[in-house]
């Protein structure tokens, strides 16, 4: 019997994502000047205010206020009428030194014996549903908001957009768990106040989203995905009506409140730990990236069409507590899921230091992860420049989204005899 599955995304101007981006900008700046920095920083944003809190162990000093303001301005909160803008908002820092009790469990005499920065379980997931091996509903939700943000910055085809937005896509699947069509699309976008009546304003926004945004999104998709967009899609555009008050003025934002948007849109599973604001010694982040790397390479190698990988840790302990694999009955090899998990242990070193090294996680790669999802993104190298309060400047070539590389496919094929 066919069924429906829904995923959502939020824009870079959503208050929770504003908080995530500030936290990850701090991570990048610390790692740029001291790659061994240990950082766990949280951000709260509300009307006219940014509050920073957390723990840091680093050999560098940063102007955290300046970094926070730069992030807010880059997102697009640059006008006083938003009641939150980078030039005038207050920035309060309550960042202090990392607990020695925690640090004792992480640092070791040799890097290889580094313990996990916390206990917990992390999940990675991959599916053949899309070219980047991500769930389709989430992939489309992200793409809609990426293109909406591009339209906002171009300020040509749609001139009234403000930074805050949310999207949601519902996909109908057939009996074989294959996407058959797009059932519904929800988009709520913040906008300037209109001179016209509310019903005129809403009609204009709906028309622009359906006739400008959606065709632009479809043009980025492969023909087989475009074919899922029929004439019977149910559109809900700004369904509550007027959306002028938004961003941190409309809703307080906190780091780490969009963990499902950040991962697989409700597919697979989630261990509960947020990513943004954490350096890679925190396995909440690094092991979630590592398990995505494992799952993606297994699916790409042909082990299964859909795979969930779980790894778990104890704080201060080097080796994982265990590795679990679920292929949802789609395995293409004559092995049980438990036997597949044993082979994963042989191919992938899941010790925290090994993960950091394999995925180059002690580089300032994290700002790009803080909006539009941490998984399924493009692996590329970019140049980034950082400046300290005393004027020291450093330009680095940084490889982004290393966990999306298919660099272990040959090793997986060899291990599984494929």
The annotation places the binding site for L-methionine at: 55, 98, 251, 282
Pairwise CA distance, residues 168 & 265, whole Å: 10
CA atoms within 13 A on the CB side of 117: 23
Alpha carbon of residue 82 to chain centroid: 25
Which DSSP string do the residues of 295-349 spell out, in sequence order? HHHHHHHTSBSEEEEEEEE-BT-SS-SEEEEE-TT-B-SSS-HHHHHHHHHHH--
The residues facing 278 across adjacent strands are 40
Nearest to 418 by CA among 354, 338, 334: 334
- Beta strands 253-254 and 38-46 are antiparallel
92 phi and psi angles, rounded to 5 deg:
-110, 125
- Binding-site positions for ATP read 14, 164-166, 242-243, 251, 257-258, 274, 278
- Binding-site positions read 14, 16, 42, 55, 98, 164-166, 242-243, 251, 257-258, 274, 278, 282
- Binding-site positions for Mg(2+) read 16
- Beta strands 49-57 and 90-97 are parallel
**Is residue 79 within 8 Å of residue 11, measured between CB atoms?**
no
Pairwise CA distance, residues 85 & 54, whole Å: 23
Nearest to 89 by CA among 151, 18, 41: 18
Cα–Cα distances in Å, from 32 out to 35, 179, 321, 352?
A: 6, 42, 32, 20
Pairwise CA distance, residues 141 & 167, whole Å: 6
Alpha carbon of residue 189 to chain centroid: 20
| CB atoms near residue 285 (< 10 Å) | 26
Rounded (10°) CA dihedral 264, 265, 271, 272: 140
The residues facing 42 across adjacent strands are 53
- Binding-site positions for K(+) read 42
Cα–Cα distances in Å, from 167 out to 98, 142, 174, 284, 416?
A: 37, 8, 23, 26, 40
């Amino acid at each position: 019997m066919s069924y429906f599955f829904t995923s959502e995304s939020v824009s870079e101007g959503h208050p929770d994502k504003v908080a995530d981006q500030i936290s990850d900008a701090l991570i990048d700046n610390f790692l740029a000047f001291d790659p061994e920095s240990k950082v766990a920083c949280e951000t709260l944003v509300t009307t006219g205010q940014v509050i920073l809190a957390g723990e840091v162990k680093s050999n560098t000093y940063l102007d955290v206020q300046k970094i926070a303001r730069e992030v807010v301005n880059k997102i697009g909160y640059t006008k006083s009428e938003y009641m939150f803008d980078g030039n005038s908002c207050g920035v309060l820092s309550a960042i202090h030194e990392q607990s020695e009790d925690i640090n004792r469990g992480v640092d070791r005499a040799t890097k290889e014996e580094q313990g996990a920065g916390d206990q917990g379980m992390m999940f990675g997931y991959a599916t053949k549903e899309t070219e980047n091996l991500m769930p389709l509903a989430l992939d489309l939700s992200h793409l809609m908001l990426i293109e909406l943000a591009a339209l906002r910055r171009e300020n040509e085809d749609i001139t009234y957009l403000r930074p805050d937005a949310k999207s949601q896509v519902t996909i109908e699947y057939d009996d074989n768990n294959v996407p058959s069509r797009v059932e519904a699309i929800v988009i709520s976008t913040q906008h300037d106040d209109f001179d016209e009546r509310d019903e005129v304003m809403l009609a204009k926004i709906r028309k622009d989203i359906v006739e400008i945004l959606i065709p632009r999104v479809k043009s980025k998709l492969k023909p087989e995905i475009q074919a899922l967009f029929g004439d019977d899609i149910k559109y809900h555009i700004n369904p509550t009506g007027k959306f002028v008050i938004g961003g941190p003025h409309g809703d307080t934002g906190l780091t780490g409140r969009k963990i499902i948007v950040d991962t697989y849109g409700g597919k697979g599973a989630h261990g509960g730990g947020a990513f943004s604001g954490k350096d890679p010694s925190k396995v909440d982040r690094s092991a979630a990236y590592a398990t995505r790397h494992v799952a993606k390479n297994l699916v790409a190698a042909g082990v299964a069409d859909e795979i969930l990988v779980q790894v778990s840790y104890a704080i201060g302990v080097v080796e994982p507590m265990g590795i679990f694999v679920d292929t949802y009955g789609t395995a293409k090899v004559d092995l049980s899921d438990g036997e597949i998990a044993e082979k994963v242990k042989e191919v992938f070193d899941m010790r925290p230091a090994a993960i950091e090294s394999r995925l180059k996680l002690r580089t300032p790669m994290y700002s790009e992860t803080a909006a539009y999802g941490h998984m399924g993104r493009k692996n590329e190298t970019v140049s980034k420049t950082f400046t300290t309060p005393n004027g020291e400047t450093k330009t680095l070539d940084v490889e982004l989204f290393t966990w999306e590389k298919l660099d272990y496919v040959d090793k997986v094929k060899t291990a599984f005899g494929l």
